Amino acid sequence: MPFDPSLAWDSLPRMLFGLANTVGITALTLVLGLAMAIPVTLARMSPRRIFRLPAAWFVMFFRGTPALILMYLVYYGLAQLPSIHDGPLWPIFANAFACAVIGLALNHASYLVEILRGGLEAVPAGLVEASAALGISPRQTYQWVRLPLAMRYALKAYQNEVIGFTKGTAVVGVITVVDLTATANEVFERTYDPVTPMLTAAVLYWCLINLMRIGFEFADRRLNRHLAAEEQRRRKPVAASLQPALARWTGLAAPNTERAL
């Protein structure tokens, strides 16, 4: 029994509800992750070790740990600690949805720190100097030269990370949050048809991911329009020239290669 269209149609409302949860978790994680990442990035780039080291540990731990384990850790692990269980924040940590967002945001933030740092460090020192030489203050230089350029440099990496963690939200089902993947699982358990709900979910994920991609590309065109002209000059000849060269070199297909080697 391959794909069953009528089951797909019947389960669509539930699936869309699951999708809405996935989108909600993604959006909240995006915001919370950024809020966490900014202070950690500043600490990570600080010249003082007391700030830099803990920030580096934060990044190493939350970047290296799979999101699945972070879910367990935040939802089950923290509940075991008396300071959490009896503390004022318990209502938050007792809530699976909140735990999912916190766990994912920690993971996302740790990636974001490295992305932001990479972008900031990629800004050529000469531009910062040129700004200083014009009498622009360090703070204004940061705001109007360094940060805008860092954002542009980091956009591609940021896109990859956001799309990556959006797909990663599929793990939240393990702590009882009913997202799109969990909904597909529920439908499977009810109908014993694994293929239809999984494929339906896959289609919805694909739509979501590609909508995000289109959004990013739009932002990229806006932010990086200053590069458009240069890009055109650089890219075209190389890409166009490669394919015949490649065919020649692989020797697999040599359609119209007159040049002998």
Partner 1 sequence: MLISASEAGYFQQLARGAVITMELAVSGYILALIGGAVVGLVTLLPNRAIQAVWRVYASIVMGVPSLLVIFLFYYGGGTLLGGIIDITPFEAGLTALVVVYTVYVAELVRGAMRNVPRGQFEATAALAIRPVGAWLHVIMPQVVRLALPGLVNIWMIVLKDTALVSLAGLNDLVSHAKTAAGATKEPFIFFIAAALFFVVFSAVTLRFSARLEARFGRGLAVAKA
Partner 2 sequence: MSGTAPLPAIMIAGLDKFYGGFHALKHIDLEVRRGEKIVVCGPSGSGKSTLIRCINRLEPHDSGRIVVNGIDVNDASSNIQDVRREVGMVFQSFNLFPHLTILENCMLAPRLALGMKKAEAERLAQRFLDRVHIGEQAAKFPAQLSGGQQQRVAIARALCMEPRIMLFDEPTSSLDPEMIKEVLEVMEELADDGMTMICVTHEMGFARRVASRCVFMDQGEIVEIAEAAAFFEAPRSDRLRAFLSQILH
Closer Cβ to partner 2, 137 or 210, answer by number: 137
Closest C-alpha to 212, from 149, 150, 164: 164
- What are the backbone dihedrals phi and psi of residue 138, each rounded to the nearest 5 degrees, phi first? -55, -40
Among 1, 50, 133, 252, binds partner 2 (CB under 8 A): 133
Residues 6+ apart with CB under 8 A from 52: 43, 44, 45, 46
Q: Which does 132 bind (CB under 5 to 8 A by kind): partner 2, partner 1, none?
A: partner 2
The region of 12-20, 25-33, 122-130, 241-249 touching partner 2 under the rule CB under 8 A is 122-130
Among 47, 49, 82, 229, binds partner 2 (CB under 8 A): 229
109 scored as a contact of partner 1 (CB under 8 A):
no
Asked if 26 and 215 count as a contact pair (C-beta separation under 8 A), the reply is: no
The region of 17-25, 64-72, 107-115, 218-226 touching partner 2 under the rule CB under 8 A is 218-226
Q: Which does 2 bind (CB under 5 to 8 A by kind): partner 1, partner 2, none?
A: partner 1
136 scored as a contact of partner 2 (CB under 8 A):
yes
Signed CA dihedral, 41, 44, 45, 49: sign only:
positive
CB atoms within 10 A of CB 176: 12
Closer Cβ to partner 1, 23 or 199, answer by number: 199
d(CA 111, CA 105): 10
Among 50, 83, 91, 134, binds partner 2 (CB under 8 A): 134
Alpha helices by DSSP H, the chain: 5-44, 49-64, 67-72, 78-80, 82-85, 90-93, 96-122, 125-133, 138-141, 147-168, 180-191, 195-223, 225-250
Closer Cβ to partner 1, 34 or 212, answer by number: 212
Name the residues that contact partner 1, by CB under 8 A.
1-2, 60-61, 63-70, 72-73, 76-81, 164, 167-171, 174, 181, 184-185, 188, 194-195, 198-199, 201-202, 205-206, 209-210, 237-239, 241-253, 255, 259, 261
